[in-house]
């Protein structure tokens, strides 16, 4: 339909950029779903979907970059990257310490549930 007289729906570069942007959004959505899922099999499914989408997004980015369809941002200084990595590692370590501290002194959360309350924790049909 659009192929007559070299007419197309939209320029190829714009179409690819739209797909690339949608893949970035999809990765964010999958990541959110992964972090919010309680069921291990659902969590694994979203982890796999995230990884597959990241691979596809990377392949599309490389293709666009090789064909001069995507301009990258300016190069970052190594010192700035190292600082960001150091801050991220510090935050990660603090989170791990917090979780470990709260896990070892579970308090109210570590006590068994009252009879009459049910839990879906071990049931794979609940998230």
From first to last of its 127 residues, the chain has per-residue pLDDT tens of 444 445 567 788 888 999 999 999 999 999 999 999 999 999 999 999 999 999 999 999 999 989 888 777 777 788 988 999 999 999 999 989 988 888 887 665 555 545 444 454 554 544 4
Sole residue written with tokens 């959110």:
32
The span from the CA of 7 to the CA of 74, in Å, is: 35
Q: What is the CA radius of gyration of the chain?
A: 23
- Kindly report the pTM of this predicted structure: 0.55
Tokens representing 33 are 């779903």
The pLDDT score that the predictor gives to residue 78 is 86
pLDDT attached to residue 117: 47
Number of CB atoms found within 10 A of residue 109's CB: 8
> What pLDDT score does 109 carry?
55
Structure tokens at 93: 């370590």
């Amino acid at each position: 339909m659009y192929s007559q007289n070299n007419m197309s729906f939209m320029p190829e570069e714009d179409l690819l950029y739209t797909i690339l942007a949608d893949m970035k959004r999809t990765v964010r959505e999958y990541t959110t779903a992964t972090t919010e899922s309680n069921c291990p099999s659902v969590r694994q499914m979203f982890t796999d979907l995230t990884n597959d989408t990241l691979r596809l997004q990377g392949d599309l980015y490389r293709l666009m970059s090789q064909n001069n369809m995507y301009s990258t941002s300016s190069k970052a200084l190594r010192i700035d990257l190292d600082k960001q990595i150091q801050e991220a590692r510090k935050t990660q370590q603090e989170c791990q310490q917090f979780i470990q501290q709260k896990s070892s002194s579970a308090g109210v959360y570590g006590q068994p549930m009252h009879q009459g309350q049910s839990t879906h924790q071990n049931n794979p049909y609940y998230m």
